A and B are shown apart, each in its own frame.
Chain A
Amino acid sequence: LLRSSQPLPGPNRRRCREDEQLLGTILDEGDRGFIIDTRSAQAAKQARMSGGGTETKSSYPQWRRLHRALERGRPLQESFIRLVEACSDPSLSMDRWLSRLESSRWLSHVKAALSTACLAAQCLDREDSNVLVHGAEGTDTTLLVTALAHLILDPSCRTLSGFQGLLQREWIEAGHPFHLRCARSASSHGRGKQEAPLFLLFLDCVWQLSRQFPFSLEFGEQLLLTLFDNAYASAYGTFLCNNERERSLCKVKESTHSLWAWLNQPEEKQKYLNPLYSHNPLVIWPSVEPQSIQLWQGLFLRWIRPSQHLDEAWVEIQRLVEGK
């Protein structure tokens, strides 16, 4: 599984021998690879006008391009805002709740993200093919897809430490611009063009996986909520800045503490473990039917509905499993 940003043929359809060679070396003679472009074919074409573009068949003959348009940027932020507003609207009657939910399109984005990640996983696992994922910048939807694909395919990413490692590699070091993306969240109507909840979308997808495979993730919802919180505001330096270069310039490692170090302390760790976890060596294929994708109540209704009864249920589950 590879990731990158978009190639830059531009309006003059430039070619780049080195880039073609690089992609060429990955495939054996006669092999086929897939490129999953997270923009629509149209958007990808239009990108050429501003210097970007796609990998053409003629330049990259062994690679088959698939387009899966995933929402990002301002529209995704709008979607998030609309959902949060719908959840906190006390006047909303039952006969309009679902259409409000639908018009936020958030769940559609969850479905699309999971489907695309599954597609990538399928190409790897079922087709035995190499896959290259990219969008435009390679820092948003690209990472969403590759990180999810890891979880689907690789059981070691589903352990608590494996998941932290995944986040560190596929989100933080891969250069997702946390500082720009996770600035003000849903309540602010600031016009920050760079704000977008990709990381939350990722966490939501992970939550969907945990619901569909309750035994297969070593961590629980509490971890996901904690990560969400820390991406926006944190006592730790882990999610600071936009990329490794900035972190180095700001001397983040020297002047802050790591979130992972704190989470992994024995007393803390306990809170984040899933009592039902049991190592599942297989690939987990989620269902992306609408019935299978649910609103993440634990996050979106966190302050709206009391979670007491559900928390008690988890305490009970813990008690039962530990009693064993």
Chain B
Amino acid sequence: VENVRLLDRFSSRRAVLGTLYLTATHVIFVENGSETRKETWVLHSQISSVEKQATTATGCPLLIRCKNFQVIQLVIPQERDCHDIYISLIRLARPVKYEELYCFSFNPKLDKEEREQGWRLVDLSEEYNRMGVPNNYWQISDVNRDYGVCDSYPTEVYVPKSATAHIIVGSSKFRSRRRFPALSYYCKGNNASICRSSQPLSGFSARCLEDEQMLQAIRKANAGSDFIYVVDTRPKLNAMANRAAGKGYENEDNYSNIKFQFIGIENIHVMRNSLQKMLEVCELKSPSMSDFLWGLENSGWLKHIKAIMDAGIFIAKAVAEEGVSVLVHCSDGWDRTAQVCSVASLLLDPYYRTMKGFMVLIEKDWVSFGHKFNHRYGNLDGDPKEISPVIDQFIECVWQLMEQFPCAFEFNERFLIHIQHHIYSCQFGNFLCNSQKERRELKIQERTYSLWAHLWKNRADYLNPLYRSDHSQTQGTLHPQIASCNFLYKFWSGMYNRFEKGLHPRQSVTDYLMAVKEETQQLEEELEVLQERLANLQKSQSGDNKVKTKQQERSKHCGLYTSNNSLANTPQEYSNDLKSFPSRSPSQGDEEDSALILTQDNLKSSDPDLSANSDQESGVEDLSCRSPSGGGCLPSEDSGKDSDEAVFLAG
């Protein structure tokens, strides 16, 4: 469709004219400008909602909201075209079969060996070995090898040595969805562990010997403590209500040597609404500080983030400081449990703060333990009540920690943002379906590519320049005792306002420091080489001063990265009641004039077109798989120079 206008959310002046294309996998907007022809690509999988707004004189507005928080406002000239686009997008954004998803057609031009290698990058059995299991206290159980005991669990789980198959099976029958207690994290240093499960089907008074034995087994696996914590991450009221439905929580009277604790994280519906409200605040036009802060508080979002973090801290403390094992569950043990276990692991073990370790963590606590990616993030069209930003919250917890501990993580903010993006993009097969079982049935690893390999290949983009493995912040446990302080939780505009260029610092400190670090390294290497050469020369030419000239050689500068100050930025609209033209009536009188005098002419300034310059922050995110870090990968429908570029990038 031609003559479509793409509006800038912050300033209605900056509308761009172009052509809109719909392909099987993407929506593409191409600007009309002769030189730039900037393109904005959106994957259908990313589309969260499409809204047709009232037709105005200028055309038919269409608002596309994406799961990665990009908001695209288009104005379609003809009402009928607008309606067609609307209907099409609705359908395209709600696939019914997995095969419709992009990951099945995405082709990064790797051979079979490379693809398989990509899938092997993260190996969970290696991870459990690294943790120190199996050992005298913990063993692998293959009781679930055909998913016969629990179809949302992986085939290999780790259980205490004294938990026989009989105990496991018995316990699974007493747990919601059969998700029996299994090992999530083992602390080599003191034998304490984090185990996870779902809620017991205890109702008001039901008991199960095997389940009680299971918890005892967990306790016995840690000789250093005579009790375990059982942490129910739900609010007490919710847990109690579950009892009426025959489920509930562990009674301290029945389970010997447990200390029971409610943490009070709200359920997926509350979280879904919370995000919704926060995004509404983000969509406010020129909000006052008041509107923003009230709106943010009203959404409750940061409160929830803090609740998840506090739970993680509690568990990490129990393990690291008290040496006590913890069993964590919520209702089904695949949402809050996953969040809380992974936050705790991150705090406890510096390995998970490395890039590789983080991928392993997600693979372990989210992918292998059956977090319902399909239902939660809408791979396929499904029940809207299942949708909830569960992993988004976990990712935000990590970001909040990164802000408090800038030297402690090997990866940077961009890494987190890209992971979140791809959880929704369905460009890779890692986050499809609801369980390991479903993924194996669909032969995901044979038919799609792994995100981890892609990120690993581009890891230079994701490094944190301040990270040093020998730094005090990176050793041992992170102690955010102060995380209990409210004011430390910031609004993550890098994620929720990701595509609003004007909001972010124009110059990325991370990128600058990475470039500095690289250049320093290169210079140091050059220096070493030269020093060696010098030493050799001095040996062969006894005392000949001519070697000085060699020393004066300057190593070639590999493009010194100067912070790009030549990026002019333009003023935003600093007045609330902006009018395009000031009233110039001479009989103005004494009346106050609150309209800012800023005419269209003034804005045709000498500023360069920022959208062409601002690379990192433009709406053409490098994830729509066309940019260098995205690795070229265009669907076959695409033609012309883009394909060539894609091939080049992939090569």
Q: A residues bordering B, Cβ < 8 Å?
A: 34, 40-41, 45, 54, 56-57, 64-67, 87, 92-99, 101-102, 105, 107-108, 111, 115, 118-119, 121-123, 126-127, 211-216, 276, 278-285, 287-295, 297, 301, 304-306, 309-310, 312-313, 316-317, 320-321, 323-324
Contact = CB atoms under 8 A, between A and B. Distances in A.
A211 B487 contact: no
Contacts of B566: 282
Given A98-B297, A316-B406, A320-B465, 8 more contacts: A41-B591, A41-B594, A119-B575, A126-B571, A213-B507, A291-B493, A313-B406, A320-B513
A127 B302 contact: no
Contacts of A92: 486
Contact of B407 (A211, A283, A293, A313): A313
Interface string B217-243: 000000000000000000000000000
A320 B482 contact: no
A118 B570 CA distance: 11
Nearest to A45: B590
Contacts of B485: 301, 304-305
B294 A122 contact: no
B593 A65 contact: yes
B488 interface: yes
B303 interface: yes
Interface residues of B, number: 74
A101 B509 contact: no
B407 A281 contact: no
B282 to A, nearest CB: 8
A215 B466 contact: no
Contacts of B300: 95
A301 B489 CA distance: 13
B589 interface: yes
B505 A285 contact: no
B597 A312 contact: no
A304 B569 CA distance: 36
B570 A285 contact: yes
Nearest to B597: A127
Contacts of B52: none
11 contacts: A34-B597, A67-B593, A102-B297, A107-B289, A211-B505, A282-B565, A282-B566, A290-B287, A312-B473, A324-B516, A324-B520
Contacts of A324: 516, 519-520, 523
A288 B482 CA distance: 29
Nearest to A67: B592
B513 A64 contact: no
Nearest to A98: B297
Given A98-B294, A292-B493, A323 B520 contact: yes
Contact of A309 (B297, B407, B493): B407
Contact of A87 (B288, B487, B565): B487
A294 B505 CA distance: 13
Given A94-B486, A321-B516, A122 B574 contact: yes
Given A212-B505, A278-B563, A56 B590 contact: yes
Interface in B565-600: 565-566, 568-572, 574-575, 588-594, 596-598
A253 B292 CA distance: 47
B565 A289 contact: no
A324 B558 CA distance: 13
Q: Which 5 pairs show the lowest CB-CB distances between chains A and B?
A: A41-B592, A290-B292, A98-B297, A313-B406, A102-B293
Contacts of B574: 115, 118-119, 122, 288
B491 A291 contact: yes
B7 to A, nearest CB: 17
Contacts of B288: 108, 111, 290
Interface of B: 10, 282, 286-294, 296-297, 300, 302-303, 306, 404-408, 465-466, 468, 471-473, 482, 485-491, 493, 497, 502-503, 505-507, 509, 512-513, 516-517, 519-520, 523, 562-563, 565-566, 568-572, 574-575, 588-594, 596-598, 602, 605
A318 to B, nearest CB: 11
A301 B487 contact: yes
B549 to A, nearest CB: 25
A287 B491 CA distance: 16
A57 to B, nearest CB: 5
Nearest to B497: A291
A214 B505 contact: yes
A54 B289 contact: no
Given A102-B293, A215-B507, A287-B503, A280 B303 contact: no
A216 B565 contact: yes
Nearest to B563: A215
A279 B408 CA distance: 30
B291 A290 contact: yes
A278 B565 CA distance: 8
Nearest to B289: A108
A280 B565 contact: yes
A295 B487 contact: yes
A98 B503 contact: no
Contacts of B290: 102, 105, 108
A99 to B, nearest CB: 5
A147 B647 CA distance: 53
Nearest to B304: A94
A171 to B, nearest CB: 23
A291 B292 contact: yes
A96 B486 CA distance: 9
Contacts of A54: 590
A118 B571 contact: yes
A263 to B, nearest CB: 25
Given A122-B571, A290-B293, A213 B505 contact: yes
B292 A57 contact: no
Contacts of A321: 513, 516
Contacts of A301: 485, 487
Given A122-B598, A276-B509, A309-B406, A215 B565 contact: yes
Contacts of B506: 212-213
A276 B297 contact: no
Contacts of B568: 282-283
A85 B303 CA distance: 20
A166 B11 CA distance: 33
Contacts of A94: 302-303, 306, 486, 489
Given A287-B502, A324-B519, A317 B293 contact: no
Residue of A56, A95, A281, A295 with most chain B CB atoms under a 10 A cut-off? A95
Contacts of A293: 289
Nearest to A61: B586
A282 B607 CA distance: 11
A34 B376 CA distance: 55
A97 B486 contact: yes
B565 A57 contact: no
B498 to A, nearest CB: 11
B523 to A, nearest CB: 8
A118 B596 CA distance: 11
Nearest to A102: B293
Given A67-B592, A289-B502, A309 B473 contact: yes
A247 B589 CA distance: 43
A313 B466 contact: yes
A317 B289 contact: no
A284 B569 contact: yes
Contacts of A64: 593, 597
A54 B590 CA distance: 9
